[in-house]
Amino acid sequence: MQKHLYQKYIEVEKDHWWFVGRRKIVLNLFADYGIKPAGAKILDFGCNHGFFAGELQKKGFNVYGIDISQEAIEAGRMAGVKNLTVSDFPETKEKFSVILCLDVLEHIENDKMAFDKMFEALLPGGIIIIMVPALSFLWGVQDVAAKHFRRYNKNSLQAVLNKKDGRILRLSYFNFILFPAIASVRLLAKIIKPKRASDFEMGNKFANSILKGIFLFEVWLFKFMNFPVGVSILAVIKKNENLH
């Protein structure tokens, strides 16, 4: 990821519609799968500056965060987030009941190897929550700025996640309602080259408020249904409990 984007994440992550909705999806999944502060040991893999890890810690969760960026980890520590470490991948000697991998796999050239390391660090019966950007035709300035290797479709992501000792509990596109507008902007940008360095430079507080309302409505719907297409993909993977 380009260095300026780490700073931009720090500036926008608290209130930007995308991050607000993404956090709410994860919290809904925690409720769905019975993940509570007592007893849950959580790893936020690719935590950036650890804002979400810090928010979960405030709710009483035992959360650890790792990221490859020394700059991002130091920013998180200075903000008071605990248990942050500079690391490429989870230490396999550590075991977690929940691993979050939120828009991280696309940054890693060998995504299968990264998932295998996560799976190895997962306790039997534990779950991994993964989010990735969807559909290669949506490739745009944000993918370039963030140094993505790819965008996924459901089949390509499922191929990475298949494990004989695990099963996929949920696999769905999301960011569905805003998909037509986002796709139109991304496709137009292939013709008219944008001057912005990333998508986080778009919009203002009023637009962010409108988009947040739309996305949070979809997040509520997402509790009850999957979507046939979207800007992103969610996957939930569970490790078999009867491993020896």
CB 100 within 8 A of CB 94: no
Residue from 46, 39, 47 nearest 97 by CA: 39
Helices (H) and strands (E) in the chain, counts: 9, 7
Mean pLDDT of 69-96: 92
User: What tens digit of pLDDT does each residue of 13-37 get?
Assistant: 999 999 999 999 999 999 999 999 9
Task: Please give the structure tokens belonging to residue 171.
Answer: 């696999």
Residue with the larger pLDDT of the pair 84 and 203: 84
Q: What is the CATH number of the domain that holds 75?
A: 3.40.50.150
Is 0.75 surpassed by the pTM of this model? yes
Task: Please give the structure tokens belonging to residue 220.
Answer: 């509520």
- CA of 130: how far to CAs of 21, 41, 172, 214, in Å? 15, 17, 11, 22
- 3 state SS of 89: coil
User: What tens digit of pLDDT does each residue of 165-219 get?
Assistant: 999 999 999 999 999 999 999 999 888 876 655 556 656 899 999 999 999 999 9
> Can you tell me the distance from the alpha carbon of 184 to that of 128, in angstroms, rounded to the nearest whole number?
32
User: What tens digit of pLDDT does each residue of 135-176 get?
Assistant: 999 998 889 888 999 999 999 999 999 999 999 999 999 999
User: Would residue 143 count as lying in a domain?
Assistant: yes
Q: What is the pLDDT, as a whole number, of residue 242?
A: 76
pLDDT higher than 60, residue 2: no
Q: Which helix (H) or strand (E) holds 85?
A: strand 84-86
User: Would residue 244 count as lying in a domain?
Assistant: no
Which domain, by its residues, includes 125? Answer: 3-239
CB 132 within 8 A of CB 232: yes
> Can you tell me the distance from the alpha carbon of 9 to that of 72, in angstroms, rounded to the nearest whole number?
9
User: Would residue 111 count as lying in a domain?
Assistant: yes
- The count of domains in the chain is 1
Task: Please give the structure tokens belonging to residue 243.
Answer: 């491993």
